[in-house]
Amino acid sequence: MKQAIFSISGILGVDRLFAYLNRNRPVVLVFHGVTAEKPGHFCNHEGMHLYRPIFERLMEFIANRYHPVSLSSIVDWLEGRAVLPSRAVAVTFDDGYRNVLTEAAPVLARLDIPATLFVATDFVFRREALWPDRITSALYLTKQKQLSLDTNGGAENVPLRDEGERIAAEHRLRSLLKNVPDDERRTMLEEIVASLGVDDVEATSAWPDHAPITPEELPRLFEHGVDVGSHTCTHAIVSRMREPQMEFELAESRRLIERATGRPCTLFSYPNGSPADFNARTRDAVIKAGYRGAVTTIKSEVAAMQDRFEIPRCTLTHNHITLSEFAAEVSGLPRFLRRAKARVTGGPALPRGGSWQLDGDWV
């Protein structure tokens, strides 16, 4: 239904009208990875990693219809130190997957589109798999037909007999682990992986596109016009960190990136990035750590008065995306419709998660 609306809006030129109306409000896009592998692998069932030909089509659209700019030039604009072209769009990637260098960067360089890669430094520098990827890999590899979970609500048996049940189990485990404190999450994760009977070394290589970029490869990103920012060390949610951990992760991730690249690291991306994941306290810490700007996953265009430490970003990355859906998203049309609906129904214009984020709400 939504796709039909957007393809009709494309035919009628409504997205062009919205792109024009929003021409002075830049848009920041967030992606995670780009893969050479056709969609269909269990480990990429949500399409977090876009199939390269699809990514290439979306980027060609941006190069033809918009003005690609770097995220740091949007920060300069918010600081009042620079002007931006109309219809400015910035491209960003979260987490630090290696395929951003091997698959995305050549496309971006060919089209002259600058980008920023935000890396979680434990993932890149210590090769520690991101915890949602570990769950996915373990569910992909396990021979078990069910998983016994011990939760606060009591014992729970999660069936794992087919792909549908494994995907449901993945959602269940992610939401369970996302809502527990960091150290508890680590313990639970180890228990889950162990009870699924999966060898950890095997799990980290279950899907090659889950591999992180190496520290030695980070400087090569600059050759393709890709800047490097911080996404913390552990990918833990900053608003839930205590002061010492928060200060350490903001400073240490920055230090490691600067040492590896030889360039200043001035941009930060909040893990998860929804309204509950940052606040005045985290904003102060980000400033104190020396960053010049920070991005969230609040889905909106960037207004001239926007706080540069809470820059919104739009995400619509899955392998079923159509060009008309993407065109509508970048133009601001769906956000206008949501705001209009909220005015009529009295509901929130920006829901606190779910429909406006990626399918798996993991960013």
CB 254 to Zn ion: min, Å: 16
Interface with Zn ion includes 95 (CB under 5 A)?
A: yes
Q: Which lies closer to Zn ion via its Cβ, residue 231 or residue 338?
A: 231
CB 252 to Zn ion: min, Å: 17
Q: Which lies closer to Zn ion via its Cβ, residue 142 or residue 317?
A: 317
Q: CA 273, CA 125: separation in Å to the nearest integer?
A: 22
Stretch that binds Zn ion, among 39-47, 87-95, 147-155, 302-310 (CB under 5 A): 87-95
Phi-psi region of 217 (alpha: psi -120 to 50; beta: other; left: phi over 0): alpha
Interface with Zn ion includes 46 (CB under 5 A)?
A: no
* Count of residues that bind Zn ion according to CB under 5 A: 3
Residues in the chain: 363
Q: Which lies closer to Zn ion via its Cβ, residue 314 or residue 328?
A: 314
Find, among 149, 61, 74, the residue nearest to 111 by Cα: 61
Stretch that binds Zn ion, among 187-195, 212-220, 267-275, 313-321 (CB under 5 A): 267-275
Note every long-range contact of 346-353, with CB atoms under 8 Å and residues 24 or more positions apart, other chains counting. 350/275, 350/298, 350/299, 350/300, 352/274, 352/275, 352/276, 353/274
Q: Which lies closer to Zn ion via its Cβ, residue 45 or residue 338?
A: 45
Q: Which lies closer to Zn ion via its Cβ, residue 236 or residue 327?
A: 236
Q: Which lies closer to Zn ion via its Cβ, residue 95 or residue 310?
A: 95
CB 232 to Zn ion: min, Å: 9
CB 38 to Zn ion: min, Å: 24
Q: Which lies closer to Zn ion via its Cβ, residue 176 or residue 295?
A: 295
Question: Does residue 87 sit in helix, strand or coil?
Answer: coil
DSSP 251-286: HHHHHHHHHHHSS---EEE-SS-SGGG--HHHHHHH
Residue type, 132: P
CB 95 to Zn ion: min, Å: 5
Stretch that binds Zn ion, among 14-22, 45-53, 93-101, 244-252 (CB under 5 A): 93-101
Q: Which lies closer to Zn ion via its Cβ, residue 267 or residue 327?
A: 267
Question: SS3 letters for 198-246?
Answer: CCHHHHHCCCHHHCECCHHHHHHHHHCCEEEEECCCCCCCHHHCCHHHH
Stretch that binds Zn ion, among 172-180, 193-201, 263-271, 313-321 (CB under 5 A): 263-271
Rounded to whole angstroms, what are the CA distances from 260 to 45, 128, 144, 212, 220? 33, 18, 41, 15, 11
Work out which of 56, 94, 103, 325 binds Zn ion, going by CB under 5 A: 94
Q: CA 136, CA 45: separation in Å to the nearest integer?
A: 10
Q: Which lies closer to Zn ion via its Cβ, residue 94 or residue 103?
A: 94
Report the sign of the C-alpha dihedral through residues 112, 359, 273, 10, in that order: positive
Q: CA 350, CA 362: separation in Å to the nearest integer?
A: 17
CB 67 to Zn ion: min, Å: 27
Q: Which lies closer to Zn ion via its Cβ, residue 33 or residue 271?
A: 271
DSSP 116-166: EEEE-HHHHHS-PPPHHHHHHHHHHH---SEEEEEETTEEEEEE-SSHHHH
Interface with Zn ion includes 209 (CB under 5 A)?
A: no
CB 271 to Zn ion: min, Å: 5
Question: Does residue 326 sit in helix, strand or coil?
Answer: helix
The phi and psi torsions of 361 (rounded to 5 degrees) equal 45, 30
Find, among 272, 283, 276, 333, the residue nearest to 27 by Cα: 333
Stretch that binds Zn ion, among 86-94, 96-104, 135-143, 317-325 (CB under 5 A): 86-94
Stretch that binds Zn ion, among 64-72, 89-97, 194-202, 331-339 (CB under 5 A): 89-97
CB 272 to Zn ion: min, Å: 7
Q: Which residues bind Zn ion (CB under 5 A)?
A: 94-95, 271
